[in-house]
């Protein structure tokens, strides 16, 4: 039986290390774009990524592994350490008290349309409200250099031909 190749983005390398299975082969990549390229060129069957697709990326079927996670956006791409988030004004359309608690930030402003605040600081919103045609990713890192897990949301991307295997993989990951 041919193993299902899963391209795994860096945020989830550790997640798959403990999975012992004959059905899947995990290929660790350096970024979501690299994983998607492997999928599009038939070097992978499924992608485990932490973000929604960008407008320039081919639309694929997807399954959420977990509902947890928030999208961090700005008017330009940047990297921010979790400990430095307090240096920024944060704009959100989510529960302000929850955002303050989760990310230990104080300057959190409630707004109706986060896209009107991109140039004022950092936006924290839901993944459903994320539009990479209007905003850029803010990469939030821990002191170790790894991504802040709550700044990502594990998602499986796949073609219709691998829908069953993607559903089975989700069960292994949760």
User: Mean pLDDT over residues 30-36, rounded?
Assistant: 93
| pLDDT value, residue 124 | 98
Reported confidence tier of residue 42, pLDDT bands at 50, 70, 90: very high
The answer on pLDDT for 170 being more than 80 is yes
Residue 126: its pLDDT value, please? 96
Residue 5 has pLDDT above 90, yes or no: yes
In the chain, beta strands by DSSP E: 4-8, 24-28, 46-49, 61-64, 71-74, 78-81, 90-92, 108-110, 122-125, 136-141, 155-158
**Predicted confidence band at 117 (pLDDT cuts at 50, 70, 90)?**
very high
Per 3-state DSSP, the chain is made up of helix, strand and coil in percentages (nearest 5) of 30, 25, 45
Q: Kindly state which CATH superfamily the domain 4-67+153-173 is placed in.
A: Periplasmic binding protein-like II (3.40.190.10)
Local structure of residue 3 (DSSP, 8 states)? P
């Amino acid at each position: 039986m041919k193993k299902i190749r899963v391209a795994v983005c860096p945020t989830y390398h550790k997640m798959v290390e403990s999975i012992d299975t004959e059905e899947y082969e995990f290929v660790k990549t350096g970024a979501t774009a690299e994983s998607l390229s492997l999928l599009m060129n038939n070097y992978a069957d499924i992608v485990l990524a932490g973000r929604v697709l960008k407008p320039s990326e081919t639309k694929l079927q997807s399954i959420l592994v977990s509902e947890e996670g928030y999208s961090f956006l700005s008017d330009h791409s940047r990297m921010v350490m979790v400990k430095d988030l307090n240096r920024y004004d944060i704009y959100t359309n989510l529960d302000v008290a929850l955002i303050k608690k989760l990310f230990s930030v104080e300057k959190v402003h409630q707004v109706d349309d986060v896209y009107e605040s991109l140039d004022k600081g950092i936006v924290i919103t839901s993944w459903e409200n994320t539009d990479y045609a209007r905003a850029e990713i803010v990469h939030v890192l821990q002191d170790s250099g790894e991504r802040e897990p709550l700044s990502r949301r594990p998602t499986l991307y796949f073609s219709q031909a691998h829908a069953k295997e993607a559903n089975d993989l989700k069960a292994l990951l949760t």
